[in-house]
Structure 1
Amino acid sequence: MTKEQDSFELYGSDDDIFTQLDQDAIFTLDPTHGSDRTSNPMDRIPKAFRTVFNFKTFNEIQAIAFDRLFTKDQSIVISAPTGTGKSALLELAMVRCFMTSSLSVRMVYMAPTKALCAQKAEAWNLKFKPLGYLCNVTTPEVWAGLTRCWKEHADLAQSVKLFMVLRQSRGADLEVCVSRIQNMNPLVRFVAVSAIIPNMDDVCQWLNATPLTFSEDYRSIKVQSIVCGVEKKHYFSMASFDKYLDSKLFQIIQQHSDGKPVIVFCPTRASVESACATLESKLAKRRVSDFQVNHPQLKKCLSHGIGFHHAGLDANDRRLVETLFRNQTIRIVATTPTLATGFNLPAFLVIIKSTVSYQEGFLEEACDVDVLQMIGRAGRPGLEAAGRAVILTTDDKQKHYKDLVTCNSVVESSLHHCLSDHFLSEIRNECICDEGTFIKWFKSSFLYLRLKKNPTHYLLLNNRLGSTSLEASLHQLFTKETKRFTKYGLVKKEPRLTISDLGIVMDTYGIKLDTMIHILNALPMQSMSAVLNLVSQGEEFKMAHAIRIGQKKLLTTMANHIDLKFPNGGKLNVTADKIAVTIQCLVGKVNIFEHGKNATTTGLLAEGFAILKIARRINRCKRD
């Protein structure tokens, strides 16, 4: 912890990246179990730190967990329902760290989305800045990038004493970050909080932590969750899917709201306004009042008792919507999921209109923790004993969300999808230097635990290896990865594995192996057209930025634009064509909004900025 005026650091920009058990039996506490109950322990906290907690009395969960968090340094995984005060549990661990550590010690808080990180950074800055302490608030993706070369900053790794994790993080980066800090600093304390999951024992074994699980009975407001899967026959694209869901909103509200306040979470600003326009047409005969607002569609909706709330509104309009909803002048509000953490206005009914959302400029399935945050808005403390949530998703995702809301969603690893991406980083950190250290590193991963218990889930990895024995599979995996990296001069093999200068460049910019091979095999380039073609072929684009049905017409128009410097015959057949066209439009003379501003053009512009960030990395790697 460093005593500084700017006490909480939010890691999140790309420039930050390119500058690093004993297994205990699980037990579940329910409200009838009183052996762990204590009197409220707030008076045991030094007065200087009591201001951290914006209440005078800990709730039942917080009181039960108090001793484990505040009087001990053992790692712990706490599983509890949404809306039960888990943030205060993290703050108890932080206060202990502040009280027992030297000023050079650091803490890290990791959450799956930038929105959650920004919220925590702001809240904790207000609470802890007067005390002068520092915490690094980050997403797994950013921290994985920052710690690629931790061997070169060993002192920083050793200074981390408390590592806090909000579970339900997406992808393999969380696994990599945890395994990396475990290998470099075995004394670090992990405090992980999550919704209820059935395989808590695996998470605890991985973190060498003790479990503490609270049942749904601890939720002060009981929430009935309904998951509706829409069959493919009702839509042909995500745009038509969104319109189809709009057509069902009024019926859902009539059926499930009981005449009480409703929040509708929508994936984009355009989707928010589309939902309100559809509802407004159903309520056209209802008149509330006229309000002075700047947004013309909002003014029309408010007059019929409907509001919307997103970052595109000015601050005065947003405050008015909040006030009108709070005093029930309007009964329905639509908003985006990025505001689920900051839009502190609970309702009786929450509708999640589609489980996709924009992440880094493109649509993808929502993070589980975001969905749980939205569900957590259902029910009004002090006014209701219950709430309802309706989740609208595609039929292929219906089972996943049913498992999530019924606490049957088993946590699996994602590391098998990108082992090669992280193999080189661990060689650079000297965590892997031969087959023995590779096997040790692999066995420290969450993937290894789940591979033993649920091998059929990891068919991709099994198919690559083709061996029936897990130990033999690890030998094959090490041999294959080593051959691939040594073949292209990215790793030196004798007498032990070390990273080459080329490998350092690849790792620094987070380049995928297939992209690096393409760069190494390319001829010396003099023309801008050749560089654009090379960058557009990057493996990094193929999954996340493929051509979508709703974009093809717009992209084809742009590909044939007279001002496009390298038109490539107007072709638009593969992802690389889309990338080349999008880059040229953003850095050239083609205006994406030339034929109008709508959800497709706005979405492509946002995605284009994410594409430019990746393109910059590939170009820098080629240059260096």
Structure 2
Amino acid sequence: MLNMPKRGALLEAVIARLQALRNGGYGVKPRFVAVSATVPNGSDVAKWLQDDRGDRGALKTFGMDFRPVPLAIHVQTYKSAKNEFVFQEALNHHLSPIIRQFSDGKATLVFCVTKRACETAAKSLQQEGSGRCTGWLDPHLQLLLKEKAMSLTDSTLRSLVPNGLAYHHAGLNATDRQIVEQLFLQSAIVVLFCTQTLALGVNLPARLVIVKGTTAYKDHGWEEYDELEMLQIMGRAGRPQFDRQGVAVIMTETAHAGRWQQIMAGRPLESRLPGNLTEALLAEVVAQTTPNIQSLSTWLKSTFLAVRCARDPGHYATLCPVFINGVHPLLSSDGPDLEQFLRALSQQELEKLVTAGLITCDGAELQATALGEVASRFSVRYDTIRWLQQAPAPADLKELLWLIAQSADFAEYRPRHGEKTQLRDLAKKDAVRWPLAGPVDSAAKKVLVLLMLALADSPRSQLSWELKSQQSQVLRRAEPLLRVVSELFETRKEGRALAACMLMRNCLRKQIWENSTMLVRQLPNIGDVGAVALKERQLSSLEALESGDPRVIEIALGRRPPFSSTLQKKLRSVPRIKLRLCPQGTDGTISIDCGGSPLNCNESQLGTGFVHCVAYGAPGGQLLLHRRFPARNPQGLLLNLQNSTGLVVHLIYEDLIGFDDFQILGDVRMDRMAVGPSVASQSSEPGGKAKRQRVEKLSGHEATVALARARQGAQIQTLASSASPVRAMSSQTAPSFEGRAGRAGRADGFAAPDFQSREIPVAPAPMMLMQPVQPMQPVQPMQAVQLMQPVQSMQPMQPSCGPKGCTASPTPMMSRACDSQVDQPDTVMIRTAAGRLRWVNRTSSDALATGRIHPQCQSGAQFRSQFIRASDMQMSSTQNSVHEFALPQSYGLWGFVDHGAKGQ
């Protein structure tokens, strides 16, 4: 285990901590017993485990002569092929002669490099005819094979087992693996094809072990097996109490014959700590076993790395490039200086941790930051932390999910050859929230698809067992990773990204989207089937289930009383909190009132009963507040909108999706480019084209003061939430200013994959922004579009431009409709009266007016460059008119004027 890349480094760090505690005078006196059959340099391990007095303890070594069952090793060489896949296919045709020559009719294990190679080799042996290995078996065993084959779920395995053949790998479900193991132990299965992992876990002895190929695909391509790995594999042959002899046959290329013929000599065991040293040092600082730099150097001296550096300095000088005045301490002309090397190495790693904001160094004292503690607690790699710190803050759930999928923690989930077709098909189905247009050819895309499928409402049984297993691993890793990302964005004051992280954490924990049509699926004892049954009876929302007929619920779920009453009681126990934002005075102070229902003041019976309040300003999305408090005891909060033109507040329940609340106040457009009041009178470029200019953003504090005064004078209302639960971070927002793909269009390393678009196609339209409020000036009442009001008699509108030939033109006007007192009107009437929407044409032709609805409830009030089209309306420039259209899922309206004349 000490030689394994990940486990070896962890084991070495744990033993080094015990060593440091023993030698540091803490009164800890641990005893170590190290046992291995494949370590050639046992003396190095003994020196590593010695105590501070230099007593190495007892070291006992035993050669092959002491092996209870003698092992014969044969190396079979073959001509290399153009690539490894072709070579593996060629080796399949040489298996039958080897089995006949060395097995003596006993059990045979064939180790293959991949799961697919196991299945291919087994089918190849079956097709050759010699795969019918049951001729000499007892008739009872032959009947047993046929009976057990019928209970297997894997169709390919079901056809192989009656012939005495099978394969065993992680792609099989637990039941199939158990059946195969039992049949092999009963000597019913004669030839078992397996992967390398079988050598480290299940004890399945055999007379003959065949290693079909000596290269495996690892992190960076095809690599030869390590000698210790090969010894572990060959150790399956001739196990005591099962057999009296064992045979191992290594099938390899001719060029590698010499290495494997000398395998018994072995290579020394090396330290795996250099590749994981940064994470190990962070863990020690967090645990306070190394509170200062001196203790950190003491810890490094207690590692196996220090022992091996003294024994092989040239090798570790390459692994740990630390130079002092251009010279590596281990390669000094005066000989290796281990003390200087360890000091320089610890200093280099400390600088990395301090730069990443994971620890602080006050003189010689070391202290972990909040980010460092979370990263160490959830074992997040240093490379992942640096990646997240360099990445821009995500604007929505799509960008956040893609950012997580690209982390180094998921690099091992590369799409395998047999998975790419299935993943490509799944990535285009409706179950995937954001379909991928291209192939799933990277680990990040595979992880993205698996996460989206895990949260989908559709049945997830279409995944193979192997993909389901990987999906479970990804889910277990993604939720803790989001904890680290949340801490990172809170440190960076990225409020919008923090709110997205909090919501995504809940989604992953409950394995359901926040906009799901079956929110009841997250409740205990409901499940996918029960959620579908409730949806058929219009009981798929939490509110409908809470107020539904208990008998109907029990019939739909096939449950007995009092199941429904108990479930409804738990739902009613969840405190309901509604937000209300109120400006206080004229200094930009905003009061956040978290009002709870008096009927729901008891402790929640679903989850922890805590909520998170996240508030951030516009346009930058800077975090203003993050507070966690019990939902049964809501808190009133005050904050000051410094340098902000608006406020966005999210109330996110910690353990339940569907009761979240969301409020906005003021101008909450994110990262907007302001348009001044004299666009048409700007300077022009040669050729008559208008020269585009960026106008500086309005001072946030001055705007909020003016906004507060207007609110105090009842001139503007706070935008209220709609009657239905508002999910501001939904994916159904329009793309950001960068284009339809949001930030995915960039050419840097954070570019997102090519997503298929399911959005409603709209014609491009310019982003018309309201004229900014001048600082400290009285704000005039907003001329809002009247909602659901009878049509008044209107006077003809006068042209707002000068005579023909005038170079100046009026600023395009945009009207805004918002009414917190109106409960989601079904229809909106727009009156083309002066002072409201002014559709004016400078020519004699008719003007074209386009009404568009912005789904603020779905986008977190982040204003985008494209909108959902409500209707296109033709009208005359000299006549009054009334236009009517539906206003679905919105509490506000933005209207734009698009003149029919060219260039206007």
Shorter-chain TM-score tier: 0.5 to 0.7
Which residue is 2:121 aligned to? 275
Normalized per residue, which structure has more helix? 1
Assess, with a 3 A threshold, how the Cα gap between structure 1 residues 180 and 566 changes in structure 2: closer, same or farther.
same
Which residue is 2:329 aligned to? 469
Which residue is 1:579 aligned to? 447
Assess, with a 3 A threshold, how the Cα gap between structure 1 residues 321 and 293 changes in structure 2: closer, same or farther.
farther
Which residue is 2:475 aligned to? 612
Deviation of 1:187 after TM superposition, in Å, equals: 1.1
Coordinate RMSD, CA, aligned: 4.2
- 1:621 maps to a residue whose letter is V
Deviation of 1:516 after TM superposition, in Å, equals: 2.0
Deviation of 1:423 after TM superposition, in Å, equals: 1.5
Distance 2:76 2:58 in 1: 36
Is 1:247 equivalent to 2:84 in the alignment? no
Question: Aligned runs of 1:451-530 on 2, under 5 Å?
Answer: 451-463=309-321, 465=323, 467-470=327-330, 471-495=339-363, 496-520=365-389, 525=394, 527-530=396-399
State the Cα deviation string for residues 372-424 of structure 1 (Å, max 9, x = none): 45423323758965321123467898777666x40422101111112111121
Is 1:214 equivalent to 2:62 in the alignment? yes
> Which SS does the other structure have where 2:474 is aligned?
helix
Deviation of 1:615 after TM superposition, in Å, equals: 1.9
> Which SS does the other structure have where 2:186 is aligned?
helix
Assess, with a 3 A threshold, how the Cα gap between structure 1 residues 609 and 365 changes in structure 2: closer, same or farther.
farther
Unmatched segments (≥5 aa) in structure 1: 1-111, 113-139, 141-165
Distance 2:483 2:456 in 1: 20
Assess, with a 3 A threshold, how the Cα gap between structure 1 residues 309 and 450 changes in structure 2: closer, same or farther.
closer
Which residue is 2:892 aligned to? none
Match of 2:434 among 566, 582, 588: 566
Which residue is 2:32 aligned to? 190
> Which SS does the other structure have where 1:497 is aligned?
strand
- 2:245 maps to a residue whose letter is A
Which residue is 1:390 aligned to? 249
Match of 1:178 among 15, 18, 29: 15
Question: Could you tell me whether the CA contact under 8 Å between 1:564 and 1:589 is conserved in 2?
Answer: no
> Which SS does the other structure have where 1:390 is aligned?
strand
Question: Could you tell me whether the CA contact under 8 Å between 1:560 and 1:567 is conserved in 2?
Answer: yes
> Which SS does the other structure have where 2:44 is aligned?
helix
Deviation of 1:440 after TM superposition, in Å, equals: 1.8
Distance 2:456 2:190 in 1: 46
Question: Could you tell me whether the CA contact under 8 Å between 2:420 and 2:441 is conserved in 1?
Answer: no
Assess, with a 3 A threshold, how the Cα gap between structure 1 residues 574 and 320 changes in structure 2: closer, same or farther.
closer
- 2:236 maps to a residue whose letter is R
Q: Which has the higher contact order (CA 8 A, sep 6+)?
A: 1
State the Cα deviation string for residues 116-147 of structure 1 (Å, max 9, x = none): xxxxxxxxxxxxxxxxxxxxxxxx8xxxxxxx
Deviation of 1:309 after TM superposition, in Å, equals: 6.3
> Which SS does the other structure have where 1:474 is aligned?
helix
> Which SS does the other structure have where 2:81 is aligned?
helix
State the Cα deviation string for residues 151-184 of structure 1 (Å, max 9, x = none): xxxxxxxxxxxxxxx9999531111111012222
The percentage of aligned residue pairs carrying the same residue is 29
Greater shift, 523-532 or 195-204, is seen at: 523-532
Match of 2:185 among 322, 347, 350: 322
Deviation of 1:532 after TM superposition, in Å, equals: 0.6
Question: Could you tell me whether the CA contact under 8 Å between 2:111 and 2:196 is conserved in 1?
Answer: yes
Distance 2:475 2:226 in 1: 24
Is 1:205 equivalent to 2:47 in the alignment? yes
Deviation of 1:249 after TM superposition, in Å, equals: 1.5
Question: Could you tell me whether the CA contact under 8 Å between 2:322 and 2:328 is conserved in 1?
Answer: no
- 2:149 maps to a residue whose letter is H
Distance 1:614 1:365 in 2: 29
Is 1:293 equivalent to 2:147 in the alignment? yes
Which residue is 1:233 aligned to? 81
TM-score by length of structure 2 reads 0.43
Distance 1:489 1:446 in 2: 28
Distance 1:286 1:575 in 2: 40
Distance 2:75 2:107 in 1: 20
Which residue is 1:406 aligned to? 264
- 1:253 maps to a residue whose letter is I
Distance 1:247 1:300 in 2: 20
> Which SS does the other structure have where 2:357 is aligned?
coil
- 2:72 maps to a residue whose letter is Q
Distance 2:159 2:402 in 1: 48
Deviation of 1:316 after TM superposition, in Å, equals: 6.1
Distance 2:297 2:212 in 1: 44
Give the greater-gyration-radius structure (CA).
Answer: 2
> Which SS does the other structure have where 1:212 is aligned?
coil
State the Cα deviation string for residues 188-209 of structure 1 (Å, max 9, x = none): 0100101143321111000114
Assess, with a 3 A threshold, how the Cα gap between structure 1 residues 314 and 426 changes in structure 2: closer, same or farther.
closer
Aligned residues: 447
Match of 2:286 among 407, 411, 428: 428
> Which SS does the other structure have where 1:171 is aligned?
helix
Question: Aligned runs of 1:256-271 on 2, under 5 Å?
Answer: 256-266=102-112, 271=117
State the Cα deviation string for residues 52-94 of structure 1 (Å, max 9, x = none): xxxxxxxxxxxxxxxxxxxxxxxxxxxxxxxxxxxxxxxxxxx
- 2:410 maps to a residue whose letter is F
Assess, with a 3 A threshold, how the Cα gap between structure 1 residues 587 and 376 changes in structure 2: closer, same or farther.
same
Distance 1:537 1:548 in 2: 17
State the Cα deviation string for residues 220-247 of structure 1 (Å, max 9, x = none): 221112355777625454xx66544433
Which residue is 1:534 aligned to? 403
Assess, with a 3 A threshold, how the Cα gap between structure 1 residues 284 and 216 changes in structure 2: closer, same or farther.
closer
> Which SS does the other structure have where 2:110 is aligned?
strand
Match of 2:210 among 347, 351, 362: 351
Assess, with a 3 A threshold, how the Cα gap between structure 1 residues 442 and 473 changes in structure 2: closer, same or farther.
same
Assess, with a 3 A threshold, how the Cα gap between structure 1 residues 591 and 374 changes in structure 2: closer, same or farther.
farther
Distance 1:312 1:303 in 2: 17
Greater shift, 548-557 or 501-510, is seen at: 548-557
Which residue is 2:613 aligned to? none
- 2:100 maps to a residue whose letter is Q
Greater shift, 393-402 or 249-258, is seen at: 393-402
- 1:501 maps to a residue whose letter is A
Deviation of 1:213 after TM superposition, in Å, equals: 0.5
Question: Aligned runs of 1:546-557 on 2, under 5 Å?
Answer: 546-547=414-415, 551-557=419-425
Question: Could you tell me whether the CA contact under 8 Å between 1:221 and 1:385 is conserved in 2?
Answer: yes
Question: Could you tell me whether the CA contact under 8 Å between 2:228 and 2:266 is conserved in 1?
Answer: no
Assess, with a 3 A threshold, how the Cα gap between structure 1 residues 561 and 343 changes in structure 2: closer, same or farther.
closer
Assess, with a 3 A threshold, how the Cα gap between structure 1 residues 396 and 510 changes in structure 2: closer, same or farther.
farther
Deviation of 1:369 after TM superposition, in Å, equals: 6.8
Deviation of 1:293 after TM superposition, in Å, equals: 1.7
